[in-house]
Amino acid sequence: MTELALQLSERQTADFEMIGNGGFAPLTGFQGSADWQRVCDEMRTAAGDYWPIPITLATGLECEVGDVIKVTSDDGKPLGTVTVEEIYQRDLEHEAKSVYRTTDLEHPGVAAIHEDGTRCIAGPIQVDALPDHEDAFQRRYLTPAESKQAFADRGWKRVVAFQTRNPIHRAHEYLTKAALEVSDGLFIHPLIGKTKAGDVPADVRMKCYELLMEDYYPDDRVILGVNPSKMHYAGPREAVLHAIVRRNYGCTHFIVGRDHAGVGDYYGTYEAQELFDEIDLDELGIEPLKFEHTFWCNKCEGMASNKTCPHDADSHLFLSGTKVREMLGNGEMPPPEFSRPEVAQILIDAYKEDN
């Protein structure tokens, strides 16, 4: 048996970390062909558990079944091993169609699996160490076991998780707080792994979240963690993955917004919410809280959504993503009803540094 070594890509490092820290339970390794097939076809592992997106290790590394591969993170940190149980070819078209509902190579998730390639090795991992993160993330880092303990310490039974890969403006602050009103605690759990170009970088977002934790969320009801996952942009299927991950972190409820984990026009606005209607929630172990588009309404004199506000759109404060980026890029503050001024300032400063 030769000494085999593999440096994982950034995306593979994130998967190794999520398997290793328990965020991807019940997975204990990279998935083999039987898992891959049933995940694609039925959204379940070969063993029968709900699982929406194959977690695979695509690599050209020469190896044989039985080999133990030493793996390092994308920045060279030794993480542990993968024991090769199977080497197989996956059908990228089938995976794209089943998981992403499109074979379009412009889709960033579909592009990523094509970049990774068809040849996968599968098998259990052994974790010696988790990947390192920059300090801004590391000091908010909680493993699933740690977040469960933190919830238990606070006596929280009903805990709602919020997934985000964007700064939190007032619309999202509102929906997290509406969810918190009917829960014991809120777990703000931003994804800090690989996102697509153009998204606000995770370290800048982290400053925004920290500011909100300081000034606008109560300490005793809200915990800010980090989710080291990468994004797939798989829309409905990824919403289910996001829910499973938060179940593993100890949450009982999960916020599902419009076009959750979507990109471009690949998914219908409510497709992610609707997929949960086809799922046995007791079996899944976490319940979705489905939210509408939220905004400030001048007639309500408060935050609201199409569900709770009867007034015309011209009473609603609406700024497109493009418009907001343009304002922030020009050093211009959006109205305080759109964004907390302190948050806007962080983003304005980040745009300045960027240029």
Query: Active site residue: 44, 119, 154, 166, which one?
Result: 166
Site string for its own copies, 177-206 (x = CB under 8 A): xxxxxx------------------------
Which of residues 145 and 281 has its CB atom nearest to its own copies in the complex?
A: 281
- C-alpha 103/C-alpha 109 separation (Å) is 10
Residue 161 binds its own copies (CB under 8 A)? no
Residue 254 binds its own copies (CB under 8 A)? no
Q: Which of 139, 308, 318, 326 binds its own copies (CB under 8 A)?
A: 308
Rounded least distance, CB 233 to its own copies, Å: 25
Strand partners, 302: 297
Residue 300 binds its own copies (CB under 8 A)? yes
Give me the DSSP letters along 285-330. Answer: T-EEEE---EEEETTTTEEEETTT--S-GGGEE---HHHHHHHHHT
Q: Which of 85, 146, 292, 349 binds its own copies (CB under 8 A)?
A: 292
Residue 154 binds its own copies (CB under 8 A)? no
Is residue 110 within 8 A of residue 102, CB to CB? The reply is yes
Q: Please enumerate in sequence order all residues whose Cβ is within 8 A of that of 343, keeping only pairs 6 or more positions apart, or say none.
A: 167, 168, 169, 208, 211, 212
Q: Which stretch binds its own copies (CB under 8 A): 148-156, 203-211, 261-269, 301-309?
A: 301-309
Residue 217 binds its own copies (CB under 8 A)? yes
| DSSP strands (E only) in 191-263 | 222-224, 253-256
Rounded least distance, CB 174 to its own copies, Å: 7
Joined tokens for residue 126: 């052994």
Residue 290 binds its own copies (CB under 8 A)? yes
Rounded least distance, CB 312 to its own copies, Å: 11
With contacts defined by CB under 8 A, how many residues of the chain interact with its own copies?
32
Question: Is the backbone of residue 331 left (phi > 0), alpha (psi -120 to 50) or beta?
Answer: left
- C-alpha 157/C-alpha 260 separation (Å) is 25
Q: Is 139 a catalytic residue?
A: no
- C-alpha 154/C-alpha 143 separation (Å) is 17
Which of residues 221 and 325 has its CB atom nearest to its own copies in the complex?
A: 221
Q: Which stretch binds its own copies (CB under 8 A): 7-15, 171-179, 200-208, 343-351?
A: 171-179
Give the type of residue at 75: D
Rounded least distance, CB 107 to its own copies, Å: 30
Restricting to residues 326-345, name those near its own copies by CB under 8 A: 336-337
Rounded least distance, CB 160 to its own copies, Å: 9
Rounded least distance, CB 180 to its own copies, Å: 5
Residue 244 binds its own copies (CB under 8 A)? no
Q: Is 166 a catalytic residue?
A: yes
Residue 304 binds its own copies (CB under 8 A)? yes
Number of Cβ within 10 Å of residue 104's Cβ equals: 12
Is residue 53 within 8 A of residue 234, CB to CB? The reply is yes
- C-alpha 326/C-alpha 116 separation (Å) is 34
Tell whether omega for the bond before 341 is within 30 degrees of 0, i.e. cis. Answer: no
Q: Please enumerate in sequence order all residues whose Cβ is within 8 A of that of 181, keeping only pairs 6 or more positions apart, or say none.
A: none
Residue 298 binds its own copies (CB under 8 A)? no
Residue 138 binds its own copies (CB under 8 A)? no
Rounded least distance, CB 51 to its own copies, Å: 26
Give the pairing of strands 119-127 and 78-83. antiparallel
Query: Active site residue: 11, 101, 140, 165, which one?
Result: 165
Interacting residue ranges for its own copies, rule: CB under 8 A: 174-175, 177-182, 215-219, 221, 289-292, 294, 300-310, 336-337
Q: Supply the residues annotated as catalytic.
A: 165-166
